[in-house]
Structure 1
Amino acid sequence: MRRRITAFAAVALSVVTLAACGQVEEESAPAGATIDTMFGSVTAPEQPKRVIALGWSDAEAALALGVQPIAASDWLAFGGEGVGPWAAGRYTTPPQILGTTELSYEQISGLNPDLILNTRSDASKEKNDELSKIAPTIGPPEGVVSYGTTWRQQMEMVSSALGKPDEGARLIGEVDAKIAGTKAANPQFAGKTVGVGAYYADKYGGYVRGDSRVDLMESLGFVNKPEIQALSNGNFYADLSREQIELLSADLTVVFPIGGDPAALRSDQVLNQIPSAKAGNLLLLEDETLLSAFSSASTLGTLWAIDNATPLFAKTLAPAA
């Protein structure tokens, strides 16, 4: 599905309603920031009160800014409030949990939102068109692949839409400082190739630039393996046949299961015979919390991932150092 946004002005002309005693005008909310998206510019209300977070980790971005969405999609199946432990305790009222790839527009409309966040999504024009009929919708930025909005772009867009650009800039600076410090403390990462792969439904795949995991690894000094990057087809992920699994072999190979048992990876003879596995440079990410942080692509999750995954990267890379 691809979506097409219709122009939506958060500050529309006054709505005229008919009452028994005559016509009554209701003034719309004051205009806030205007955010550029891949579907055009969208003006948010000045102080949105009923925010719905549909995009991948959009809820975590809002919570980091002190704004509690009234409803959100739980992309990583955390359950409960739909966010990782790095964002725990930031809700005072739990959100209503909505769908992810399949949305109920009737349900969303019934929540009477004044702003919808969908910054990291499948970039469907059809969905954006329908959501924009309900409330101003902040879709992905121009030029990104599906689900390819970076943590930085997400925070810039969300903080602007929520009227908190200065706080957003502070959080971006915090992550930048963490990345810079970690990179400086691990000079052995510089220029080393990395292959990041996943195992899902008995199939392997490799991630390319535009995926938050690869982007994080490269920000720490690694270089995505060129042979995997060459498979990029406008998406963040490329399927690999069993004959292509060796493409994941690099100075550091990071592989994880999606919704499956990591035991399948530990026992896979093909995976464990690739050169990086034989050299001891294959890292299987098995801790679900760490894997979720690595995949969250929010400012909060990225900070958690850097703190907890970097020691594993360094330890696994050591045999080749």
Structure 2
Amino acid sequence: MPLAFARPKTRRGLAFVAATAALVLALTGCSASADEAAAPAATDGVVIEHAHGETVIPEKPQRVVALGWMTPDIVAALGTNPVGIEEVWGADESGYQPWFEDFVTEEYGETPEIIPYIEDGPNYEAIKALKPDLILSLYSGVTDIEYERLTEIAPTVPYIEGPWNPGTWEGMTRTVGKALSEDAKAEELITETEELITGLADEHPEFDGKTFVWGLTLNEGGTDLGVYLEYDPRVRITEALGFTSTSAMDSFLATAEGDNWYTGVSLEKLYDVQADLFAAWGSSAAEGTYTVENKVVSRWEPIAAGSYVIYADDAAASAISAPTVLSLKYILPTYVDDLAAALQGEPTIDGE
């Protein structure tokens, strides 16, 4: 199963990854000279610093194109229905991720236009036809050239730190809130979501102190089990629910290459990885079954105890892998129920 990619996943077969990093924001405020003290203050707008420079957003945008993952959710939750989005991993037959479609249909009465996918980068013509006054692409791999071309259409905010590096869901919410001049609303959404997580954790004291590994299913013939590192969003969310990462996390970090948010554990060393629970995603239920029936994996502590949760459904896997204030409301109640059942020896392979 591929772990990295160059564009957002679509039904044309690009693979998924999720990542965490810090976000850097800057805001310029109002200013007035002494001679203009009696006049209304003039604003230079919002300035957001990012990996390609900085973007000035002169006034609150009305027509927002939200590219890639996560961003469309946040824009919609902050009070603006995007005029256009891309079809991304987890979309159903309608072309929208289910939680996003439900929200915008109820809140706005209509869904955004889906920007047709093309192989060679952003669909500039389709984006331009939407007449945006802001383009947001925080979870993307927009290159310098692509960024320049997008800015010819409208002010554009790409990734803050680096390609395919969206930062935490909280930080990304604040960035989009800043861009839309909805800082207070962004903080409200973060607080509501944190309260949801805390409430679910409080309902399940049995999670406290239980150790876990978040990973991937095995490809046929695979000899390494993919695992995610401590700053991956799946790991962070599970820890927020009361679980504790495996004591093997330090060894995971030591073997990770570069800025990767994942590594692999040789099946020969799997028994050295202590965990009460294993959570994972895979491309199919059959792949999940293949993993837990592997001669080595089947004897690993959490698998032998039936304490595992494997998501093969794209929507479920996407919701927990690229979390937002909308997707977490969608997936967390199910995820928590699955975790609780797994600790009782009742495993889940979603899609079976």
Question: How would you bin the TM-score normalised by the shorter chain?
Answer: 0.7 to 0.9
For 1:236 and 1:186, locate their aligned partners in 2 and report how far apart those are by CA, in whole Å.
28
Q: Give the equivalent residue in structure 2 for 1:84.
A: 98
- Answer yes or no: is the 8 Å Cα contact 2:292–2:303 preserved in 1: no
* Cα deviation code 1:108-132 (max 9, x no counterpart): 3444322111112347545434433
The percentage of counterpart residues that share the same residue type is 26
* CA separation of 1:235 and 1:132: change in aligned 2, threshold 3 A: farther
- Answer yes or no: is the 8 Å Cα contact 2:65–2:136 preserved in 1: yes
Alignment of 1:161-172 (within 5 A): 161-172=179-190
* CA separation of 1:145 and 1:127: change in aligned 2, threshold 3 A: closer
- Answer yes or no: is the 8 Å Cα contact 2:61–2:133 preserved in 1: yes
* CA separation of 1:38 and 1:219: change in aligned 2, threshold 3 A: farther
- Answer yes or no: is the 8 Å Cα contact 2:218–2:291 preserved in 1: no
What is the DSSP-based 3-state SS (H/G/I as helix, E as strand, rest coil) of the residue aligned with 1:59?
helix
Of 277, 293, 298, the match for 1:252: 277
User: Is residue 128 from structure 1 mapped to residue 152 from structure 2 by the alignment?
Assistant: no
Which blocks of at least 5 consecutive residues in structure 2 are unaligned? 1-5, 8-42, 346-352
User: Is residue 44 from structure 1 mapped to residue 69 from structure 2 by the alignment?
Assistant: no
For 1:213 and 1:312, locate their aligned partners in 2 and report how far apart those are by CA, in whole Å.
14
Q: CA deviation at 1:175?
A: 0.6
Alignment of 1:213-292 (within 5 A): 213-225=234-246, 226=249, 227-233=251-257, 234-243=259-268, 250-258=275-283, 261=286, 262-292=288-318
Of 188, 195, 211, the match for 2:206: 188
Give the letter for the 2:234 counterpart: R
User: Is residue 207 from structure 1 mapped to residue 221 from structure 2 by the alignment?
Assistant: no
- Answer yes or no: is the 8 Å Cα contact 2:302–2:308 preserved in 1: yes
TM-score, L = length of structure 1:
0.77
What is the DSSP-based 3-state SS (H/G/I as helix, E as strand, rest coil) of the residue aligned with 1:284?
strand
- Answer yes or no: is the 8 Å Cα contact 1:53–1:71 preserved in 2: yes
- Answer yes or no: is the 8 Å Cα contact 2:168–2:233 preserved in 1: yes
Q: CA deviation at 1:148?
A: 4.3
* Cα deviation code 1:209-234 (max 9, x no counterpart): 33221121122232333133433331
What is the DSSP-based 3-state SS (H/G/I as helix, E as strand, rest coil) of the residue aligned with 1:103?
coil
For 2:61 and 2:273, locate their aligned partners in 1 and report how far apart those are by CA, in whole Å.
45
* Cα deviation code 1:168-189 (max 9, x no counterpart): 1111110111122222333333
Higher mean Cα deviation, 132-141 or 257-266? 257-266
Which blocks of at least 5 consecutive residues in structure 1 are unaligned? 3-29
Alignment of 1:2-21 (within 5 A): none
Alignment of 1:97-112 (within 5 A): 97-99=115-117, 103-107=121-125, 108-112=127-131
For 1:100 and 1:218, locate their aligned partners in 2 and report how far apart those are by CA, in whole Å.
38
Give the letter for the 1:56 counterpart: W
Higher mean Cα deviation, 121-130 or 157-166? 121-130
User: Is residue 294 from structure 1 mapped to residue 320 from structure 2 by the alignment?
Assistant: yes
Give the letter for the 1:265 counterpart: T
* CA separation of 1:304 and 1:271: change in aligned 2, threshold 3 A: same
Of 151, 160, 164, the match for 2:169: 151
User: Is residue 304 from structure 1 mapped to residue 304 from structure 2 by the alignment?
Assistant: no
Q: Give the equivalent residue in structure 2 for 1:34.
A: 47
* CA separation of 1:228 and 1:34: change in aligned 2, threshold 3 A: same
TM-score, L = length of structure 2:
0.71
Q: CA deviation at 1:287?
A: 4.8
What is the DSSP-based 3-state SS (H/G/I as helix, E as strand, rest coil) of the residue aligned with 2:81?
coil
For 1:252 and 1:269, locate their aligned partners in 2 and report how far apart those are by CA, in whole Å.
18
Structure having the larger proportion of residues in strand: 1
Give the letter for the 2:197 counterpart: I
- Answer yes or no: is the 8 Å Cα contact 2:138–2:160 preserved in 1: yes
For 2:143 and 2:261, locate their aligned partners in 1 and report how far apart those are by CA, in whole Å.
16
Q: CA deviation at 1:298?
A: 1.0
